[in-house]
Amino acid sequence: MGSTGGGTGGGTRSAPDATERARPDRTGREADPYAEEAAAVRAGLVREIVASGGLTDPTWRAAFEEVPRHLFVPYYYETGEAHEAGGGAAGAGEVRGERAAAGGEAGGTGVVVAGGARGTVGCTRLWRDDSHPLRRARWLAGAYADAPLATRVRDGELITSSSQPSLMAQMLQALQVRDGDRVLEIGAGTGYNAALLAHRLGDAQVTTLDLDPEITDAARNHLAAAGYRPAVVTGDGARGCPSHAPYDRIIATCAVASVPPAWLGQCGPDALILTPLATGLIALRVADARHAEGRFLATPAYFVPLRGSGPPPQVPTYGLPSRPLLDDSFRFLLNLAAGQMEPVEALALWEHEGRPGRERYGVTVRGERQWAWLDDPEGAYGWPLGPPGRLQPYD
């Protein structure tokens, strides 16, 4: 999960996908030499997520127990400071989302240098077909760590990653799917999230969409290797996928600054849209093609943005003391109200209202109008939402 799902790309081709080279067994599926070992470490990951309270639904627990994540990440990148890259990876990236992982299209030693928003980082590729057994073991262990994994970078920009599994579990449970629901996923990523959905609902009920044909080709290959065949469509995420509509649920794995109208128009009555927005996750209940409303989940979520809207500006922080900037709930408000409030006004509101968490905020869509609000859609605090990609999250 976690590609941008819309816009344009360009640059170098990605490293060849290991699933494209593996020989199939007699069933037509890829013969997996890691199946037994992977099952053991996957069980450990599921136990970890359950222990943290992030996986309470038994049907979703079964999906995480049975869908092999390692087939969806035949290679990925660990990142660190450039001067550390030659000595190995520095870490698997930030937790709770997808924005931290960054990498490059590596060859040779698997160490590349890429420019990112926070400066130059060194990226080490871990690969399932590495000739060194210790590096292969490290790849498999990382595939089942509760951490996001960078899987594709183009021109120094993170294009695709596999989200932190515990965050995926929270999002899938919050989607509140029922048997027979039709689901559209915006942002195909590696295909892993689509496989979890297909395990729960069946292949015919799931469509996953991404603009980049390299991403959709790789996701389709990964899904087939794992034994799943949902619809994988190449197209602009902001436009949805009308040919497979209507949908009972839409889940996005890329951040938007406002809700694309096409999504509402492709929903059936009482559908639910779950999408990252302003470093949070908004769950919108759809009344009809022009009306929806809902609240944010309590959890933080940092995702790569929906592409195609140009480079977003930074969220302003001028005039603010350093202490509130360390508080995640205040940074969320800065992102949500950026362009509508001065930073010092946002600070005064946040302190006056008791430092509210994400769950006190919501979003309303009424025709051409969209706005975020605190506590009440008609209350004292509301901020118009801009076009997709308008904001650069502050963290």
User: pLDDT for 2-30, tens place per residue?
Assistant: 544 444 333 333 444 444 444 444 444 55
**Which residue, 182, 368, 178, is CA-closest to 268?**
182
In the prediction, which pLDDT does 20 show?
Answer: 41
In the prediction, which pLDDT does 107 show?
Answer: 27
**pTM for this predicted structure:** 0.83
Average pLDDT for 359-388 = 92
Q: How far apart are CA 22 and CA 32, in angstroms?
A: 9
Tokens 């640059």: give the residue. Answer: 11
Bond preceding residue 387 cis, omega within 30 of 0: no
Q: How far apart are CA 297 and CA 359, in angstroms?
A: 5
Q: How far apart are CA 127 and CA 253, in angstroms?
A: 24
> Of residues 225 and 387, which shows the higher confidence score?
225
Mean pLDDT is lowest, of 30-34, 99-103, 200-204, 218-222, for 99-103
Element (H, E) at 150: strand 149-154
Q: How far apart are CA 232 and CA 286, in angstroms?
A: 24
**Which residues are identified as catalytic?**
163
368-381: string of b/e by CB count within 10 Å (b at 16+)? eebbbbbeeeeeeb
**C-beta neighbour count of 141 within 10 angstroms:** 14
Average pLDDT for 236-243 = 96
In the prediction, which pLDDT does 95 show?
Answer: 28
Q: Is a pLDDT exceeding 50 seen at residue 110?
A: no
Tokens 């997996």: give the residue. Answer: 32
Mean pLDDT is lowest, of 27-31, 34-38, 119-123, 226-230, for 119-123
Residues in Cβ contact with 92 at an 8 Å cutoff, skipping those fewer than 6 apart: 78, 101, 142, 145, 147, 148, 149
